[in-house]
Amino acid sequence: YHASCVRRGLQRAVLAVDLPFMTYATPRDALDAAARLVREAGVQMVKLEGGRHRMDVIRALTREDIPVCAHLGLLPQSVHRMGGYLVQGRDDRGAQLMLEDALQVQAAGASLLVLECVPALLASEITAALTIPTIGIGAGPGCDGQVLVSYDMLGMTPKCPRFCRDFLAGAESVAAAFAAYVTAVRQGSFPGPEHAF
């Protein structure tokens, strides 16, 4: 339903939608969920969380010409298993595993990679090692692009995450806040060192 609403309002952006929790435990589950999103909502890309243990799912989707955005680092659908909302890849072993996972999701056919709550240096290293674009959220300025959760960037949460800035503060409207975010990213003033790990 929500993806269909977004599709109706889009003019030029690519519609990428998260596969919901537990809809991609197996390649068959993922194909069924993705096919429904593509057919019923006009989705152009699906996003899924996880690295090496998702290779068969990524391959199955891309074999059927469904573009995939992989997601590494902090995985919101697995936050309880990860011990909370914690920065990932801080130690050498974690960083090496994340780099390997990034290379593997690319080899499996992912077209895009989101890096969430990853040290800025590691995100830059991963970006340099890949041929697919990276999108950072709490991953510093070295990714190919940036994304934020709208209610975080609009100051609607009780505590603004470290990697975020309240773009609505001082803005005349929500539209102006989004425009300020786009400008800040394009000019390279966001994210700054204070937003990185």
Beta strands across the sheet bearing 68-73: 16-18, 45-49, 68-73, 112-116, 134-137, 145-146
Neighbours of 153 (CB within 10 A): 22
Active site residue 116: yes
Separation of alpha carbons 54 and 47, rounded Å: 12
**40, 64, 100, 116: the active-site residue:** 116
Q: Which residues of 116-125 are buried (b: 16+ CB within 10 A; e: fewer)?
A: bbbbbebbbb
**Catalytic residue annotation:** 116
